[in-house]
C-alpha cells in the first residue's frame, strides 16, 4: 500500500497512474484521467495498485494499447468539469468517427472498464450503422458467423402489409419450407426438436414494417416472409379467414401434420391473416421492385442450391393465376385457387 | 474482435436504439444476436415505448407469456394497418385512459373495449362507407362509451338554463342507428359518407358530430343542421392527411386530431373536471389564460371564460353567434341587472368557487367581453360594509380552431 498516492495532490505536482495492457506494455496516465474509468478507480481505491511502474494496474484483456489510447482521450476530455453540454456533444460526434471494427473494439474495451457513457456513445453509433441493413449485410459488415440454421432463417414473419413483393416471395419461401421439412424428416430427431423448441420464441420475432413506403422494404422481405409462412401451415382449414389460407394449408399440411406446435397455437387463435389478394393493393410490380425481387430470389435460391429460373417461372405463373382469380372470402375463391395450384 | 465481443450491455443498448422491428431483423443474423434480441427486458422496453404497456397483455387484455409474445400478438392483431399509425392511436388512447383512471375513474369504466375487424366491417357494410384509417384503428382500441349516466361523456361539455351538453363517443352499433336515423333528415342527396360519431342530447336540441368518411374531417351540426345540413369543421382542415392511404406514415383524420387535442387540453389543465351537486363531468370552459381571465379585488377572485356553442349558432346569419359565458365566484348583481341567473349566493372565504354559466348571442364571431359584479360584505340582509365593485377581467371570444 503506498499511501502517497492517496495524498492530496498539490496543483504543481501531478499524480500519475500506471496501467498495463494484456500485451505487457505499460502506460503512464494522469491520475484524474485514469480515475474517470470506474474499473480503474476501484482498483486504485481498493487495492492501491497503479502508483508505480512495478505496481501497474492490469487492464482487462479486451483493452489493447491502441484502444486504451482512445479511451484515455475520451476520459481526458470529459473529466474536465467546466465543459458545456454542447462542447461535450461536439467532441463525442467527432470522437466516434472511426471504422466499424475499431468501434466494436472500443465498445468492448469501454464495457470491460465499465465506462458506461462511452459504451452508450459507441453503442448508439453501432446502432446507426446496423439500422436499415438486411441480416446478410449486417453479417458482412461485422463479420458475424452465419450460424443460424436455414430453418431458423426461414422463420415466418408477421406480414404487416399487403405488399405484392412479399406475397411473391412468400410463395417461394413456402416451397422452400416444404422442401426443408421433407428433408428434415430424414434428418435426426434432434434437429426437429430444436426447431420445435425455437418455434415459440421465433414466432414472436421480426415485425418488420417494410410496406410503409419504405424503400428498404425489399430487403426486409426475407424475414417478413418467414413469419407469414409460419402461420398458414399450422392453421386448420376450419379456422381460415380467407381462401388463400385454405389452399396453403392444404398443400403444406401433408408436410406439417406430424409436428406438434402447442405453444404456437394460442398465438394464432385470433390472428387475422393478411388476405393475399386484398383488392386495395396494387398488384403490379414496378420494374425496380421486380428487379430487386429477382435478385433476392436468385440469391436465396442459389443458397439452397435450387434452379432459380425454373422456380421464378413457376412462381410467376402462379402469381399470374392468382391475379386472375377474383378475390373473395368465401369457399368459391379457395376452390378456384386450389385448382390453379393443382394445374402446376 | 467484432460485434460479438462488445458485451451484453452494449448489445442491449444497440437493440434498444434500433427498435422492435430492427431488433427482430437482427435476430436473423446470428445465434448470438438472436439470443440478445430475444431477451424479454428488451421487449418490455418496446412494449412500454411503442404500446404503452407495462404488463405483457394481449389485445384482449389477457396476460401473454412474455413481453415479446405480447408485442407479437399486438403486431399480429393490427397487421392490416401501418404500424406507426397504430402506435400513434394507441398512444392517444393510452394517454386519455391514463388521465381518466387518475382523475375521472367513473368515466374510465364506461369506455368499451375495442371493436373487432368484423364489427367495423359490419358497420361499413350497413352504412356503405369506408372508415378513414385512423378512426378505424381508434375504434379497434375502444368502441366508444357505454353510457347510462349522461355526465360521463369523454368530451364533456357545459350547461346553461336547461341545456345540458355532455358529449360522448358513440359505440359502433349506435353509430349505425344514429346515422340511419339522422341522415335522411338532413337532405343529403348525393353524399352518403357522413356518419354520426359523437353526440349529446338535451331538452332544447341535440349536438351531433359527423365524420366525413371520405375526407376524414369531423363536423358539428349548427342551429341549421335540420334541414340545411349546416355544419362546422371541428379540426383545422389543413391538418387532415391521407386518411385512406395504407402506405404513408403521416395519416391523420379529424377524429384522431380531435382526441389528441382534447387530451392536450385535459393534460395541461386548460379544461378540467367540474363538480355540480356531487356529480362530476368534464367541462369545456377553458380554465387557463389566455382564454380564461382572472382578477382579484378586495379578496374576491373572479375568473371568466367562454365556450362556443355551435348547436345554437347560425352561420347564415352573421349577426348571431352563441357564446356561453362563465364567471366563477359569484355575483350579487351584474352590470345589466340583478343576478342574471336569479341567484344571490353567499360567498365565504376558503369555500368552493361559485360558478355560474350564462348564454348570450353575440354580434360577431370574435372579440372580447368584460364586466363587473357588485359585492356586499356580510349579507344582503345584514351588510357589514358598503357595496364594492369587482371587475371581471376581459376575456377573449374567438371562434376556436378545434370545436368540442
pLDDT, average across residues A277-285: 40
State residue A126's pLDDT score: 93
Whole-angstrom Cα distance, residue A56 to residue A34? 12
Minimal CA–CA distance to B158: which of B369, B359, B370?
Answer: B359
User: Is residue B387 less than 8 Å (CB to CB) from chain A?
Assistant: no
Q: What is the pTM of this model?
A: 0.67
Interface of B with A in 48-67 (CB under 8 A): 59-60, 66
- pLDDT of A315 > 90? The answer is no
Q: What is the DSSP string of A183-214?
A: HHHHS-HHHHHHHHHHHHHHTT-----TTTT-
pLDDT, average across residues B50-72: 91
- pLDDT of B316 > 80? The answer is no
Optimal mutation site among B49, B62, B79, B132, interface A, most CBs of chain A within 10 A: B79
pLDDT tens digits along B107-156: 999 999 999 999 999 999 999 999 999 999 999 999 999 886 678 899 99
pLDDT tens digits along B362-384: 656 667 777 777 777 766 677 77
> Is residue A161 a contact partner of residue A210, using CB atoms and an 8 Å limit?
yes
pLDDT, average across residues A317-340: 41
Q: What is the DSSP string of B189-232?
A: -S---EEEEEEE--SS--EEEEEETTT--EEEE-TTHHHH--EE
Contact A272 B14 (CB under 8 A): no
pLDDT, average across residues A308-335: 46
Choose the closest CB to A272 out of B3, B69, B80: B80
Q: Closest-CA residue in chain B for A111?
A: B7
ipTM score of complex = 0.70
pLDDT tens digits along A33-71: 988 988 888 888 888 888 888 888 888 888 889 999 999
- With cut-offs at 50, 70 and 90, classify the pLDDT of residue A280: very low
Q: Which residues contact A79 (CB under 8 A, 6 or more apart)?
A: A32, A33, A35, A36
Contact B29 A281 (CB under 8 A): no
β-sheet bridge partners, residue B169: B198
User: Is residue B248 less than 8 Å (CB to CB) from chain A?
Assistant: yes
State the average pLDDT for chain B. Answer: 83
Q: Closest-CA residue in chain B for A199?
A: B69
Q: Closest-CA residue in chain A for B46?
A: A207
Amino acid at each position: 500500500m503506498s499511501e502517497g498516492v492517496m495524498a492530496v495532490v498539490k496543483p504543481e505536482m501531478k499524480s500519475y497512474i500506471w496501467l498495463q495492457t494484456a500485451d505487457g506494455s505499460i502506460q503512464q496516465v494522469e491520475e484524474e484521467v485514469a480515475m474517470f474509468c470506474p474499473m480503474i478507480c476501484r482498483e486504485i481505491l481498493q487495492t492501491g495498485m497503479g502508483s508505480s511502474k512495478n505496481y501497474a494496474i492490469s487492464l482487462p484483456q479486451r483493452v489493447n494499447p491502441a484502444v486504451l489510447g482512445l479511451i484515455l482521450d475520451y476520459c481526458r476530455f470529459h473529466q474536465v468539469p467546466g465543459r458545456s453540454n454542447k462542447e461535450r456533444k461536439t467532441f463525442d460526434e467527432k470522437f466516434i468517427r472511426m471504422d466499424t471494427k475499431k468501434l466494436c473494439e472500443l465498445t468492448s474495451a469501454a464495457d470491460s472498464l465499465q465506462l458506461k457513457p462511452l459504451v452508450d456513445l459507441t453503442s448508439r453509433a453501432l446502432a446507426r450503422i446496423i439500422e436499415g441493413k438486411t441480416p446478410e449485410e449486417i453479417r458482412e459488415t461485422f463479420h458475424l458467423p452465419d450460424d443460424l440454421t436455414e430453418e431458423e432463417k426461414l422463420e415466418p414473419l408477421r406480414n404487416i402489409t399487403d405488399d405484392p413483393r412479399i406475397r411473391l416471395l412468400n410463395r417461394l419461401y413456402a416451397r422452400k419450407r416444404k422442401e426443408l421439412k421433407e428433408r428434415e424428416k430424414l434428418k435426426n430427431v434432434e434437429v426437429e426438436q430444436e426447431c420445435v423448441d425455437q418455434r415459440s420464441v421465433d414466432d414472436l420475432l421480426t415485425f418488420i414494417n417494410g410496406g410503409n413506403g419504405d424503400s428498404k422494404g425489399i430487403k426486409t422481405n426475407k424475414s417478413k416472409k418467414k413469419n407469414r409462412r409460419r402461420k398458414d401451415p399450422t392453421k386448420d382449414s376450419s379456422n381460415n379467414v380467407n381462401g388463400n389460407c385454405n389452399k396453403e394449408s392444404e398443400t403444406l399440411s401433408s408436410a406439417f401434420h406430424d409436428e406438434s406446435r402447442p405453444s404456437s397455437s394460442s398465438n394464432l387463435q385470433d390472428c387475422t391473416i393478411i388476405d393475399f389478394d386484398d383488392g386495395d393493393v396494387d398488384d403490379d410490380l414496378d420494374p425496380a421492385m421486380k428487379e430487386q425481387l429477382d435478385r433476392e430470389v436468385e440469391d436465396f435460391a442459389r443458397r439452397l442450391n435450387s434452379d432459380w429460373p425454373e422456380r421464378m417461372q413457376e412462381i410467376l405463373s402462379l402469381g399470374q393465376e392468382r391475379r386472375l382469380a377474383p378475390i373473395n372470402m368465401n369457399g368459391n375463391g379457395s376452390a378456384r385457387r386450389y385448382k390453379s395450384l393443382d394445374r402446376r | 474482435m467484432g460485434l460479438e465481443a462488445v458485451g451484453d450491455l452494449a448489445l442491449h443498448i444497440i437493440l434498444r436504439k434500433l427498435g422492435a422491428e430492427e431488433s427482430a431483423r437482427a435476430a436473423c443474423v446470428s445465434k448470438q444476436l438472436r439470443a440478445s434480441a430475444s431477451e424479454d427486458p428488451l421487449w418490455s422496453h418496446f412494449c412500454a415505448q411503442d404500446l404503452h404497456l407495462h404488463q405483457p397483455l394481449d389485445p384482449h387484455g389477457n396476460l401473454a407469456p412474455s413481453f415479446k409474445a405480447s408485442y407479437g400478438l399486438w403486431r399480429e392483431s393490427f397487421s392490416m394497418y401501418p404500424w406507426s399509425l397504430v402506435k400513434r392511436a394507441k398512444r392517444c388512447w393510452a394517454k386519455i385512459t391514463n388521465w381518466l383512471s387518475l382523475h375521472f375513474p367513473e368515466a374510465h369504466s364506461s369506455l368499451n373495449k375495442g371493436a373487432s375487424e368484423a364489427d367495423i366491417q359490419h358497420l361499413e357494410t350497413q352504412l356503405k362507407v369506408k372508415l378513414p384509417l385512423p378512426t378505424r384503428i381508434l375504434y379497434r382500441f375502444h368502441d366508444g362509451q357505454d353510457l347510462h349516466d349522461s355526465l360521463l361523456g369523454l368530451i364533456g361539455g357545459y350547461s346553461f338554463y336547461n341545456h345540458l351538453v355532455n358529449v360522448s363517443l358513440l359505440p359502433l352499433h349506435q353509430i349505425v342507428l344514429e346515422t340511419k336515423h339522422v341522415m335522411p333528415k338532413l337532405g343529403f342527396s348525393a353524399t352518403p359518407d357522413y356518419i354520426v360519431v359523437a353526440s349529446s342530447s338535451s331538452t332544447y336540441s341535440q349536438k351531433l358530430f359527423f365524420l366525413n368518411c371520405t375526407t376524414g374531417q369531423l363536423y358539428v351540426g349548427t342551429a341549421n343542421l335540420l334541414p340545411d345540413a349546416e355544419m362546422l369543421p371541428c379540426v383545422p382542415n389543413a391538418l387532415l392527411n391521407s386518411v385512406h392511404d395504407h402506405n404513408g406514415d403521416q395519416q391523420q383524420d379529424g377524429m384522431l386530431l380531435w382526441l389528441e387535442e382534447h387530451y392536450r387540453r385535459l393534460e395541461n389543465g386548460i379544461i378540467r373536471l367540474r363538480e355540480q351537486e356531487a356529480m362530476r363531468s368534464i367541462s369545456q370552459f377553458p380554465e387557463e389564460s389566455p382564454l380564461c381571465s382572472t382578477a382579484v379585488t378586495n379578496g374576491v377572485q373572479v375568473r371568466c371564460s367562454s365556450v362556443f356553442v355551435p348547436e345554437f349558432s347560425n352561420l347564415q346569419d352573421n349577426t348571431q353567434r352563441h357564446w356561453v359565458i362563465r364567471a366563477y365566484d359569484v355575483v350579487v348583481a351584474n352590470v345589466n341587472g340583478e343576478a342574471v341567473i336569479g341567484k344571490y349566493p353567499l360567498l365565504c372565504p376558503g369555500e368552493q368557487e361559485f360558478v355560474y354559466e350564462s348564454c348570450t348571442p353575440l354580434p360577431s364571431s370574435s372579440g372580447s367581453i368584460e364586466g363587473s359584479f357588485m359585492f356586499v360584505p356580510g349579507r344582503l340582509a345584514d351588510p357589514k360594509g358598503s357595496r364594492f365593485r369587482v371587475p371581471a377581467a376581459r376575456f377573449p371570444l374567438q371562434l376556436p380552431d378545434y370545436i368540442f
